[in-house]
Structure 1
Amino acid sequence: MQGVTVVDHPLVQHKLTLMRKRDTSTKSFRELLREIASLVCYEVTRDLPLEQVEIETPLATMQAPMLAGKKLVFAPILRSGLGMLEGMLELVPAARVAHIGLYRDPATLHCVEYYFKAPADLAERAVVVVDPMLATGNTAIAAVDRLREAGAKSVRLACLLASPEGLSKFHGHHPDVHVWTAAIDERLNDHGYILPGLGDAGDRMYGTR
């Protein structure tokens, strides 16, 4: 599918299968999500620009590559996006963080914003929206809309699972935002949940219902 990268690394797929199992504990679910997030982040950041800088090794002076420009911004969608944030920050500890509070109205499936806080210079940074599930696509669309209102120009999206319907709707609104996901599942059910999926990521992560 155009505009989407499925991270099919064996470790990612193995850990995802463990997360899908209904008897996986809350503790294990959180740990697996953090681990998968680091692996997905590795792929999301594969094309970041580099610049040559002069350094001193113990033996010589050399030109060596380092990341160019300002640090990344990770933008987790509350609350379940926080479960992926920790793993990504382990890989990119200097990244900035923007928090986007959105919830999906169960009656309309539309998004309601309740919190937003981001670095002031989003226009100068690459932003990675983080949310485990791209289901209907409404939450991801609202998050990218909000970030662009705040000045973001370079935006990408990292998730754990996506539905075909959600991807289609998301790219209908934001065709230039590339998506990285561990899997594209079959479809949505009547309540807007991904099938076969893994249930509600936030509830499984925090032990709520």
Structure 2
Amino acid sequence: MQFPNCTVVDHPLVKHKLTLMRRAETSTASFRALLQEISLLLAYEAFRDLKLREEEIQTPMAKMVAPVLEGKKLVLVAILRAGQGILDGMLQLVPSARVGHIGLYRDPETLAAVEYYYRVPGQLADRDVVVCDPMLATGNSAVAALSRLKRNKPGSVRFVCLLASPEGLMNLREHHPDVHVYTAAIDERLDEHGYIIPGLGDAGDRLFGTK
């Protein structure tokens, strides 16, 4: 199945680290470190098309014209709570990025996303916004977060996750066809409870050791 709204970052290091994260015996500390490492690799691909401009600089040897990022700074938005794990990794690459948080939980009966917190930088126009959440399962949380964020009229929005399901990608494409997804893998399906199979379990519980 093809997903034109999705880029799978299939670098060997990403595949290897993802396998380690999937293992049930992987410790919380290792899971947390691996998520940050993969997030850094995903960020390289997600930021590939950022606009550049040229400016004159002085090296220790001579003057030259060199590229720098154009326009306003990036905004990274984590969907709480597990999105914080991806955010931490990306901030290693772009430490000057502004940061926002959207708190959502999944209703256990309807699987609908319920918002309980929203705090993002103001004046998002002309800014590149990256929304982070490890699991794109049903896609309901991603759709809700993106809909909420678009009220602030960001310049562009992309979505970065560790794992995606076919169902989640289709849901996100239906509601936000302009948002491109970057992920480490597209898994087989969702189970009857809305969890990704084969997946890696609850990313938040494994990240914070709350299971």
Shorter chain as denominator, the TM-score bin is: over 0.9
- Pick the aligned partner of 1:68 from 50, 67, 70: 70
Question: Which has the larger displacement, 145-154 or 121-130?
Answer: 145-154
Match of 2:206 in 1: 204
* C-alpha separation in 2, matches of 1:17 and 1:87: 18
Runs of 4+ with >6 A deviation? none
- Alignment partner, residue 115 of structure 1: 117
Pick from 90, 93, 101: which aligns with 1:91? 93
1:54 aligns with 2:56: yes
TM-score (norm 1): 0.99
Q: Give the aligned partner of residue 180 of structure 1.
A: 182
1:126-175 per-residue CA deviation (whole Å, 9 max, x = no partner) reads: 10000000000000000100100122241000000000000001100001
* Structure 2 alignment gaps of length 5 or more: none
Instruction: Determine whether 1:2 maps to 2:4.
Output: yes
User: Aligned partners of 1:165 and 1:112: how far apart in 2?
Assistant: 19
- Indicate how the Cα distance of structure 1 residues 153 and 58 shifts in structure 2: closer, same or farther if over 3 A, else same: closer
* Partner AA of 1:17 in structure 2: T
Q: Which residue identity lines up with residue 31 of structure 2 in the other structure?
A: F
Per the alignment, residue 36 of structure 2 pairs with 34
Aligned Cα RMSD in Å?
Answer: 0.7
Give the counterpart letter for 2:205 in structure 1: D
Which letter maps to 2:136?
L
In structure 1, the partner of 2:148 is 146
- The Cα offsets for residues 1-43 of structure 1, whole Å up to 9 and x where unpaired, read as 2011000000000000000000000000000000000000010
What is aligned with 2:107?
Answer: 105
Equivalence for 1:81 = 83
Cα offset for 1:59?
Answer: 1.4
Give the TM-score normalised by the residue count of structure 2: 0.98
Question: For 2:17 and 2:27, how far apart are their aligned partners in 1?
Answer: 13
Question: How many aligned positions are there?
Answer: 209
Partner of 1:166: 168
Structure 1 residue 123: deviation in Å? 1.4
Distance 1:128 1:59 in 2: 37
How far apart are the structure 1 equivalents of 2:155 and 2:44? Answer: 21
Q: Which amino acid aligns with 1:97?
A: V
Between 1:80-89 and 1:150-159, the stretch displaced more is 150-159
Q: Displacement of 1:124 after TM fit? A: 2.1
CA distance in 2, matches of 1:124, 1:113: 25
